[in-house]
A and B are shown apart, each in its own frame.
Chain A
Amino acid sequence: MPTNAPSPIADVLAAANQVVLGKDVQIRLALSCLLARGHLLIEDLPGVGKTTLAHTLARLLGLQFSRIQFTSDMLPADIIGVSIFNREKTEFKFLPGPLFSQVVLADEINRATPKTQSALLEAMEERQVTTEGETRPLPDPFFVIATQNPSHQIGTFPLPESQLDRFLLRIELGYPDHHAERALLEGGGRRDQLPALAACFTPEQLAPLQQQAAAIHVSSALLDYVQALIEATRSSQNFIHGLSPRAALSLLAAARAWAFVDGRKNVLPEDVQAVLPGVACHRLRLASSGNHARLEDITALIHATPLN
């Protein structure tokens, strides 16, 4: 998939494709999510490369990275940080937790209890943390990549709707295709390459790029199309309820970032179609089973909405 993107973005895409094989679309979506200042949820089986993808992006963007492995006995303080009494200075000193990082990989988020989950998700939304009456801003940029195992696995606390809404995009990685898997097997563990990856970005470069992505032109014809899609989710019999206005805003922001990653100056219907599964799947529930919508459901929705 070629791109006309500005050079640092093209470099990131190229380098990431060297590490995470055969996942071009997912890499792009993850990068778009970051550029749209959203948080990313990766849902898949263990061992398909979720952590590798997160780690690769953090390194390539030159961002500070920390990883939190969620377990069922974890408390909010474990991720936010605690204040410890300093005897010598007779005062409390705040020791920031792993959340105070530019890229946070929240592994297996659905293994944590709802209390800890909500502490993380509130921090994602507010981009600041309040403990013991003091508000502390989180670093900027602040990008959470959360992974979760499919919720039918044992020992999970599924995230409630309202919390899922905090993630701009949800992607699935899936098994690698034949060629990629062979290359993987021949080349050994890809994680070994990680320390050798050179950053393509400085943290200062990211903010202007995010601003440019948010300024991508959206014509009224495209807004017509976005509204038609949103309307279709609401009137469809397949879903329990339709997409919210916030979801519509997320869709537009993601489509802008996608167009920007593709190197274009305006959003096309193709961009909306490309990000719609990522935006809609975790926000829509099927009326038939109560499960989240799948890619096929969203594709059917797109095909049923004519483009004028």
Chain B
Amino acid sequence: MAKQKTEPLEHSATPWLLAVALATAGPHVEHLPLWMSVLVGGLFMWRVWLWLARGQLPRRVPLTLLVAGGVAGIGWQFHTLFGRDAGVALLVLFMALKPMEMHSRRDALVVVMLGYFLLLTHYFYSQSIPTGLWLLAATTLLTATLIRLHGGAQPVAAIARYAGLLLLQALPFMLILYLLFPRISGPLWGLPQDAHSGLSGLSDKMAPGSLSNLIQSGAIAFRVRFASDLPEKSELYWRGPTFDEYDGLTWRARELSATAAQTKPSIEVTGKNYTYTSTLEAHNQRWLLALDVPTDLPTDSELAPTLEALAREPVRARARFTFTSAVDFRANRLESPAVLQHALRLPAAINPRTRALAIEWKSKSRSPEEIKDAALSMFRNEAFFYTLRPPLLGQHAMDDFLFTSRRGFCEHYASAFVFLMRAAGVPARVVTGYQGGELNPVDGFLTVRQSDAHAWAEIWLAGQGWTRVDPTAAVAPSRVEQGIAAALPTGEPLAMLSRIDIDWLRAMRNRWEAVNNGWNQWVLGYNPERQREVLSRLGFKEPDWRSMTATLAVLCGITLLVISLWTLYQRNTADPAQRAWQRYCTGLRRRGVTRAAWEGPLDFAARVAHERPDLATLTNEAAQYYADLRYGHGGSEHLRLLQQCARRLPSSWRKEV
């Protein structure tokens, strides 16, 4: 240690450490505040310049000031020094500053260790395949840097090969630990509070524009795999939150009283049941987005009185659920009067023209169905447009929309329809969720994206219960039958790749998403249940943590033993030239000429020429290559030729011929 402390760092080793700093801290720039990115980038450039100019590293006092300033800045920015973002920012700051006092080998080792630690923090932000590949490359770089620090100057290719070999040896341990290390539900340590910010998904209220913003995102909401066949695409309504309270601008869910929340909805299934497994991305809300309407729910979830499936806790990590749903059903035929009463409430004194229209319909109609049909036929037959870019609406939003602009998006149509129904005395509410999805032919998963977000309406009809009405389907039928891309006029902004006509591009995306899905299902989704599943498939009856730990230790020990033996064997016959020559001599032995242990290559070749003239030329060639390789200056070309000689030996049967 004392030696390391004083031993100065070689000038030629510095680029390795700067590369380490760049590879480990660089990608974090995405999450850092701008001033920090500028500071860290500036420090890095300065250090590179100091290296190029062989300049003096800064002294202790300015460095201390830089550290204090940086830490103060982070404290001011995040109001804390703990938690995910502040902690990562602190580590990145250290990584940028440590090279500034990199005088000795010991300092360099600190940089490498800090690099290994900083690598782990990337998993706070992303666990995707590209991140994994990047971290793998960075780990190789870190290991190579350690080799460079301890092994002195060598060709980069040699260092890289050595680092690769070391990582390859670590691979079996990684697999064993990954498969067998006892898993616990949830993350290993409590994640900081801010870990779940910035997840996208449906919101617990619906204001104009909230869905159209979500639709711009091509991110995946969930993936579904049906046990058997799929329902019709127009039946794929994935139910999210239901809203029955309107304040003139925003739709919200009503706060339910304790008894109302306990009420179990009644569902009569009239058609087929579909069973499927859904892998839901984290969205930080409780709803599970089951196919409307779920009849059998996974454990730890419940069916709300408003028919959506809810988890006990918000979904903070990608999770899998198995549901059974029916698309033909009658729900809550005997709804409580309080609920129906609530489903008629409207804020007073707004939208007078809309109210008047509704009252006119009510007076003309004999039943709620006729009122519904009147509204739908208005949407269908008059000049309404389906667009993501509707004009702004004024105080009487419904009046403006229905009589002036007539341009809107599913949220506008659902909202206007429910308003009309309520004004005409038909209990109605807004339902948000997703509609449709895209079948990936590569792995058979149905992918539902944020761009499939949708809003529709439900009205309550006596004898039929809550009945789905999708006014958007009346305006733009293709939205429900073919998807959002087909329904929107060309030129409207959509998530990249949602509107793909190019076949190969679509096929490539499907393939990539199938790979990603496999990664999610098997690597990231490897939870205690999956582990138990895998272990029982491997022959463990009732795996508990004791037997698992024992297996873990035994397997690691065996792997270590195998690698050590292999290394010893390699050391004994380290020279590839020797191995190739031995192979050739073994080949000759099978053909009747045995080399004595003491016999040199040229002597042996001379003897072969005497005993087996047919093999003379080849053996002479091989002996020359070997002599050059082992006792002279033969290069890799000679080795290749020597190895070829062993293959060029005529097959043994010719001896008999």
Residue positions of A touching B, CB distance < 8 A: 217, 219, 221-222, 265-270, 273, 302-308
**In the complex, are the beta carbons of B601 and A268 less than 8 A apart?**
yes
Contact A273 B597, CB 8 Å, known A221-B575, A222-B631: no
**In the complex, are the beta carbons of B633 and A217 less than 8 A apart?**
yes
Chain A residue contacts of B265, Cβ below 8 A: none
- Among A219, A270, A273, A302, contact of B632 (Cβ-Cβ < 8 Å): A219
**In the complex, are the beta carbons of B631 and A221 less than 8 A apart?**
yes
**In the complex, are the beta carbons of B630 and A221 less than 8 A apart?**
yes
- Can you give 30 A-B contacts (C-beta < 8 A)? A217-B631, A217-B632, A217-B633, A219-B631, A219-B632, A221-B575, A221-B630, A221-B631, A222-B631, A266-B628, A266-B631, A266-B633, A267-B631, A268-B602, A268-B627, A268-B631, A269-B600, A269-B631, A270-B603, A273-B598, A273-B603, A302-B598, A303-B596, A303-B598, A304-B598, A306-B597, A306-B598, A307-B598, A307-B599, A307-B600
Contact A273 B596, CB 8 Å, known A219-B630, A221-B630, A267-B631: no
Q: How far is the CA of A230 from the CA of B246 in the complex (A)?
A: 102
- Decide yes or no whether B578 CB sits under 8 A from chain A: yes
Residue positions of B touching A, CB distance < 8 A: 575, 578, 596-603, 627-628, 630-633
**In the complex, are the beta carbons of B598 and A265 less than 8 A apart?**
no
Instruction: A219-B631, A221-B630, A266-B632 given; name 12 further pairs at CB < 8 Å.
Output: A217-B631, A217-B633, A221-B575, A266-B627, A266-B628, A268-B627, A269-B631, A270-B603, A303-B596, A306-B597, A307-B597, A307-B598
* Smallest Cβ-Cβ distance to B596: which chain A residue: A303
Q: How far is the CA of A170 from the CA of B619 in the complex (A)?
A: 34
Chain B residue contacts of A269, Cβ below 8 A: 600, 631
Chain A residue contacts of B601, Cβ below 8 A: 268, 270
Chain A residue contacts of B599, Cβ below 8 A: 307
Q: How far is the CA of A297 from the CA of B599 in the complex (A)?
A: 17
Chain A residue contacts of B630, Cβ below 8 A: 219, 221
Q: How far is the CA of A269 from the CA of B575 in the complex (A)?
A: 17
Chain B residue contacts of A308, Cβ below 8 A: 578
Q: How far is the CA of A262 from the CA of B633 in the complex (A)?
A: 18
Shortest distance from the beta carbon of B597 to any chain A beta carbon, whole Å? 4
- Among B575, B596, B600, contact of A270 (Cβ-Cβ < 8 Å): B600
Chain A residue contacts of B627, Cβ below 8 A: 266, 268
Shortest distance from the beta carbon of A200 to any chain B beta carbon, whole Å? 27
Chain A residue contacts of B600, Cβ below 8 A: 268-270, 273, 307
* Smallest Cβ-Cβ distance to A303: which chain B residue: B598
Q: How far is the CA of A221 from the CA of B600 in the complex (A)?
A: 12
Chain A residue contacts of B603, Cβ below 8 A: 270, 273
- Among A221, A222, A305, contact of B598 (Cβ-Cβ < 8 Å): A305
Residue of A217, A305, A307 contacting most chain B CB atoms (<10 Å): A307
Chain A residue contacts of B631, Cβ below 8 A: 217, 219, 221-222, 266-269
For the complex of A and B, the 7 pairs showing the least CB-CB separation, nearest first, are: A306-B597, A269-B600, A266-B632, A270-B600, A219-B631, A221-B630, A266-B631
Chain A residue contacts of B596, Cβ below 8 A: 303
**In the complex, are the beta carbons of A265 and B597 less than 8 A apart?**
no
Shortest distance from the beta carbon of B95 to any chain A beta carbon, whole Å? 43
Shortest distance from the beta carbon of B407 to any chain A beta carbon, whole Å? 85
Shortest distance from the beta carbon of A176 to any chain B beta carbon, whole Å? 24
* Smallest Cβ-Cβ distance to B632: which chain A residue: A266
Chain A residue contacts of B578, Cβ below 8 A: 308
* Smallest Cβ-Cβ distance to A304: which chain B residue: B598
* Smallest Cβ-Cβ distance to A307: which chain B residue: B598
Chain B residue contacts of A273, Cβ below 8 A: 598, 600, 603
* Smallest Cβ-Cβ distance to A222: which chain B residue: B631
Residue of A222, A269, A302 contacting most chain B CB atoms (<10 Å): A269
Chain B residue contacts of A303, Cβ below 8 A: 596, 598
Shortest distance from the beta carbon of A34 to any chain B beta carbon, whole Å? 24
Shortest distance from the beta carbon of A266 to any chain B beta carbon, whole Å? 4
Shortest distance from the beta carbon of B595 to any chain A beta carbon, whole Å? 9
* Smallest Cβ-Cβ distance to A302: which chain B residue: B598
Chain B residue contacts of A265, Cβ below 8 A: 632
Chain A residue contacts of B597, Cβ below 8 A: 306-307
Shortest distance from the beta carbon of B598 to any chain A beta carbon, whole Å? 5
